Amino acid sequence: MGREKITLKTNAEILLMREAGLITGRALEAVKKAIVPGISTLELDAIAEATIQSFGAKSNFKLVAGYHHTICASINDEVVHGIPSKDRVLAAGDIISVDCGAITPAGWNGDAAFSFVVPGGDEAISAKRQALSVSCEASLWAGIAALATATRLNEVGRAVEKSIRNSGRYGILQDYIGHGVGRSMHEDPAVFNYQTRDLGPVVEPGLVIAIEPMITAGSEKVRILADEWTISTKDGSDGSHWEHTVALHAGGIWVLTAEDGGEAGLAKYGLKPVPVNL
């Protein structure tokens, strides 16, 4: 930490990244609207792929060696990296986390994720899963808000962890964290979802990162399933994953993967997103 090769973006490059972010966000919104009991995760994958292609972009997940899908779809005790399949059919009350990214013809990337509880099912179970998702999303916005005034990057991780600890007894994944975004979907710096001894690199205008808390309803201990991708909780507890790509520039912060730039999520903190100007 503190020695990463961070590539700061110009305002012109952030504007290009906004295009990738919007396409990513719109693909996820199309997926969310399609979630009903009985739909397969492979069908959701096709919806995301069609949406990305309709804007002239491509899936950047498919550029990851060995991965052949547009989204990751993780259900219940699967926290992240679940592989879409025609056999993975959603049931009422399931919690699903969907992760997606797009790359534009100009070579810029977006990356975002959301969790969603499938309507119906046992009310008590659904309520617990909804609380888990709400807590995870709240911690994401706490981290984004912290970035607006941070001088060192781990102030983001500290804010994410504080939000999670204040909302319940949830586990925070230790080995799966956020990252820089730019010409590659995964760049330096590492963005932790918890406080570390090292304060992290200095925060400067031009920093573009994906903040992505991943939490569980039980222990933070996880395992990799036999497909060598899916990350599942060891104790069988439910997981949740939320993510946005966020740019910091001289004028403020701008959530590139949110249609409103982050206005709704930041309002609680008295902050407004600031689009860049050339």
Cα-trace Rg, the chain: 17
Does residue 150 belong to any structural domain of this protein? yes
Q: What is the tally of structural domains in the chain?
A: 1
pLDDT computed for residue 153 by the predictor: 98
- Whether the Cβ atoms of residue 2 and residue 201 lie closer than 8 Å to each other: yes
Decide: pTM greater than 0.95: yes
In a domain, residue 49? The reply is yes
Distance of alpha carbon 14 from alpha carbon 106, whole angstroms: 12
| HSE-CB of 20 using CA atoms within 13 angstroms | 31
Torsion from C-alpha of 50, 51, 55, 58, nearest 10 degrees: -60
Q: What is the pLDDT along the chain (278 residues), one digit of tens a residue?
A: 445 689 999 999 999 999 999 999 999 999 999 999 999 999 999 999 999 999 999 999 999 999 999 999 999 999 999 999 999 999 999 999 999 999 999 999 999 999 999 999 999 999 999 999 999 999 999 999 999 999 999 999 999 999 999 999 999 999 999 999 999 999 999 999 999 999 999 999 999 999 999 999 999 999 999 999 999 999 999 999 999 999 999 999 999 999 999 999 999 999 999 999 87
In a domain, 20, yes or no: yes
Domain that holds residue 109: 11-269
Asked if the structure places residue 72 within a domain, the reply is yes
CATH number of the domain enclosing 257: 3.90.230.10
6 within some domain = no
Domain contains 100: yes
d(CA 11, CA 119): 41
* Inside any domain, residue 276: no
β partners of residue 8:
none
Report yes or no on 81 lying in a domain: yes
Q: Are 249 and 17 in contact (CB under 8 A)?
A: no
Residue owning tokens 């689009």? 275
